[in-house]
């Protein structure tokens, strides 16, 4: 509760009277100070009661026209203020400090009730109620979203609800949302003042607006041009445990607890049997999102990162719907940029979504664009990298300096390894930093492009260790070239090369490799090479 200038003046008056009373040893000034102090405290108490009544009777709702908009999109926001009243009888407005006319004629006042009321109200300046919407700071609105009562109720839009003794007033404005992410409104701020005191409190609902990045309208996720039901259906656990659904009935083993014997089955089959149940199915998912320089390739709003982000968001939504634990690892040129251990709960999903929305292509720390991982460089370099001679020599100099039989025997096994190069790759290094911290069954979803396939192979190998499943969502560079295709046939050839490597990845145990691309571009490339398309298909 704040004091207005008028109230501070009265406080100063009390202090002055009390001090003067002490200075001049005049008790009558103390009596004056006592009366004024009591008067101000009584006003404060009276204002408190009125404020609590208003808080009870007030209903404020903030409504968003479209809860999901694209970046820089617009949506209408409405602020509805409703005041309810228990009694149908309405009285005079005003406050108690107005000079009164004790000698006034009450009968005359009664005869001219309405007129008197209006006159009184014209003089009344008390109880101004201001309500302002709690728009998130990132929002740009065409005009402030606030209303002031009772002035607002003089406007034609004010609606008196029949039979409810409630008045509703709505104000609306158009808001622009330039920042991607989830933005939650603050509660509406209500400010009430009677001219002597001012009280501010918050009330009302808190809607959320999700601002999605402008991306491609249709994203293809699939294999060789065929769509893949990434999030469809349920996933079998293939494990037995203490769930609810029956998995199998098997004979009793001496190591089983006697309490697990299914006596009905035992009686029916004449041998002790134990019933096994499906373990409760929750899939622990780790999203590994690559947002290095190369992921920025593509037309505006249709970059590789935009498409992969959409896939990651879809997986996040599916995990949230199923209540599955979810973790996130994002990797930039310099290494890991975000690491959220696998966890469950609304806050975790919100955090993951927020990070995904805010993810941007990241170069190296020194501002350079980082190593060029441009189109097809990975595919072209694959055989060369596989040889990896010089790097290996740096990694294991002793192996090459040593001419012993042992070294000669080992050398061929290391010939196709490139440990230093792999270890220097942010994606591999990032995943390695979390893989040991997430024990147990983890479904790793790697979202990257095809510009560093050797690194990707090593990373997938790391991810699928310990019987873990891996999904690789690959953005084929050929489908993200800005502008049109120079040659559909050449693009098709490049796509076919990509497809060969994607299938190679997909042939690995427990690995699913999918392509992620704008659907129209993929269909263009596929139609361009339709005569050779059978070669693409497995």
Partner 1 sequence: MGWGSGMQGRVQAILERTHLPLPVNRRLQALALLGLGCLLGGSWFIGGPVGIGTVALSALVWGLLGPAFAIAAIHVGLLAVSPGLGDVVAITVLEAGLVVLVAVGSVTPPSTPATGRRFLAGFLVALAILGGVLWTAFESGGHWLAAATLLSLFGLGGFLVHRHARVTLSALGTDTGDGGGSA
Give residues 307-336 in contact with partner 1 (rule: CB under 8 A). none
Comparison of 50 and 410: residue with beta carbon closer to partner 1: 50
Among 22, 246, 386, 504, binds partner 1 (CB under 8 A): 22
Among 5, 49, 412, 413, binds partner 1 (CB under 8 A): 49
How far apart are CB 160 and partner 1 at their closest, in Å?
Answer: 8
- Give the footprint of partner 1 on residues 53-112 (CB under 8 A): 53-55, 57, 61-68, 75-76, 83-87, 89-100, 102-104, 106, 109-110
Among 43, 273, 284, 502, binds partner 1 (CB under 8 A): 43
CB atoms near residue 167 (< 10 Å): 18
Among 73, 112, 140, 202, binds partner 1 (CB under 8 A): 202
Comparison of 118 and 530: residue with beta carbon closer to partner 1: 118
Among 4, 36, 249, 334, binds partner 1 (CB under 8 A): 36
Per CB under 8 A, does 437 bind partner 1? no
Per CB under 8 A, does 189 bind partner 1? no
Comparison of 85 and 242: residue with beta carbon closer to partner 1: 85
Comparison of 92 and 239: residue with beta carbon closer to partner 1: 92
Q: How far apart are CA 66 and CA 75, in angstroms?
A: 6
Exposure string for 471-497, b = 16+ CB within 10 A, e = fewer: bbbbbbbbbbbeeebeebeebbebbbb
Residue 287: C-alpha distances to residues 133, 211, 235, 256, 312 (Å)? 37, 21, 17, 38, 7
CA nearest to 130, candidates 94, 178, 81, 91? 81
Residues 6+ apart with CB under 8 A from 441: 283, 284, 467, 468, 469
Q: How far apart are CA 218 and CA 222, in angstroms?
A: 13
How far apart are CB 169 and partner 1 at their closest, in Å?
Answer: 10
How far apart are CB 186 and partner 1 at their closest, in Å?
Answer: 9
Q: Which residues pair with 167 in a beta bridge?
A: 83, 160
Comparison of 7 and 338: residue with beta carbon closer to partner 1: 7
Residue 368: C-alpha distances to residues 291, 362, 365 (Å)? 15, 10, 7
Binding mask 401-420 for partner 1 (x = CB under 8 A): --------------------
- Site size toward partner 1, by CB under 8 A: 108
Tell me 396's DSSP state. -
- Give the footprint of partner 1 on residues 167-186 (CB under 8 A): 167, 185
Give 113-151 as a DSSP string. Answer: HHHHHHHHHHH----EEEEEEE--TT-EESS--EEEETG
Q: Is the peptide bond before 150 cis (omega within 30 degrees of 0)?
A: yes
Helices then strands, each counted (H, E), the chain: 17, 23
H or E element at residue 36: helix 27-57
Per CB under 8 A, does 201 bind partner 1? yes
Per CB under 8 A, does 384 bind partner 1? no
How far apart are CB 194 and partner 1 at their closest, in Å?
Answer: 9
- Give the footprint of partner 1 on residues 113-142 (CB under 8 A): 114, 116-118, 120-124, 126-127, 129
Q: How far apart are CA 262 and CA 366, in angstroms?
A: 67
Comparison of 86 and 384: residue with beta carbon closer to partner 1: 86
């Amino acid at each position: 509760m704040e004091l207005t200038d008028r109230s501070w003046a009265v406080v100063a008056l009390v202090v002055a009277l009390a001090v003067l009373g002490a200075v001049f040893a005049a008790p009558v000034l103390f009596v004056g100070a006592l009366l004024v102090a009591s008067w101000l405290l009584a006003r404060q108490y009276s204002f408190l009661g009125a404020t609590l009544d208003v808080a009870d009777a007030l209903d404020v709702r903030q409504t968003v026209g479209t809860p999901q908009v694209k970046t820089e999109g617009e949506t209408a926001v409405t602020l509805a203020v409703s005041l309810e009243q228990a009694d149908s009888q309405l009285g005079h407005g005003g406050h108690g400090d107005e000079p009164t006319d004790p000698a006034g004629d009450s009968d005359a006042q009664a005869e001219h009730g309405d007129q008197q009321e209006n006159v009184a109200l014209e003089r009344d300046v008390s109880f101004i109620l201001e309500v302002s919407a709690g728009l998130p700071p990132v929002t740009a609105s065409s005009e402030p979203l606030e209303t002031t009562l009772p002035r607002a109720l003089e406007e034609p839009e004010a609606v008196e609800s029949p039979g409810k003794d409630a008045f509703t007033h709505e104000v609306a404005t158009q808001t622009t949302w330039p920042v991607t992410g989830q933005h939650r409104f603050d509660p509406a701020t209500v400010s009430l003042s009677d001219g002597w005191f001012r009280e501010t409190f918050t009330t009302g609902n808190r809607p959320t607006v999700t601002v999605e990045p402008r991306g491609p309208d249709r994203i293809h996720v699939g294999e060789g041009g065929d769509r893949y039901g990434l999030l469809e259906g349920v996933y079998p656990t293939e494990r037995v445990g203490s769930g609810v659904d029956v998995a199998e009935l098997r004979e009793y083993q001496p190591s089983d607890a006697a309490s697990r014997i299914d006596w009905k089955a035992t009686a029916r089959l004449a041998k002790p049997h134990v019933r096994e149940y499906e373990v409760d199915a929750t899939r622990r998912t780790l999203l590994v999102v690559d947002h290095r320089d190369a992921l920025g390739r593509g037309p505006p709003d249709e970059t590789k990162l935009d498409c992969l982000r959409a896939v990651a968001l879809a997986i996040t939504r599916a995990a949230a719907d199923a209540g599955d634990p979810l973790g996130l690892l994002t990797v930039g040129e310099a290494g890991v940029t975000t690491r959220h251990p696998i966890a469950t709960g609304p806050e975790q999903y919100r955090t993951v979504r927020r990070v995904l929305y805010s993810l941007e292509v990241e170069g190296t720390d020194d501002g350079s664009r980082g190593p060029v991982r441009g189109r097809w460089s990975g595919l072209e370099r694959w055989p060369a990298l596989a040889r990896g001679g010089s790097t290996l020599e740096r990694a294991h100099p002793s192996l090459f300096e040593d001419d012993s039989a042992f070294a000669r025997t080992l050398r061929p096994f290391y010939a196709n390894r490139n440990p230093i190069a792999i270890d220097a790759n942010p994606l591999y290094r990032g995943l390695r930093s979390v893989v040991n911290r997430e024990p147990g069954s983890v479904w790793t979803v790697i979202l990257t492009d095809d510009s560093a396939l050797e690194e990707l192979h090593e990373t997938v190998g790391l991810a699928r260790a310990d019987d873990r499943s891996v999904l690789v969502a690959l953005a084929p560079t050929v489908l993200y070239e800005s502008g049109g295709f120079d040659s559909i046939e050449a693009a098709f050839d490049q796509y076919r090369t990509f497809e060969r490597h994607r299938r190679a990845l997909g042939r690995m145990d427990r690995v699913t490799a999918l392509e992620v691309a704008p659907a129209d571009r993929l269909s263009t490339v596929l139609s361009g090479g339709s005569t050779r398309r059978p070669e693409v298909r497995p």
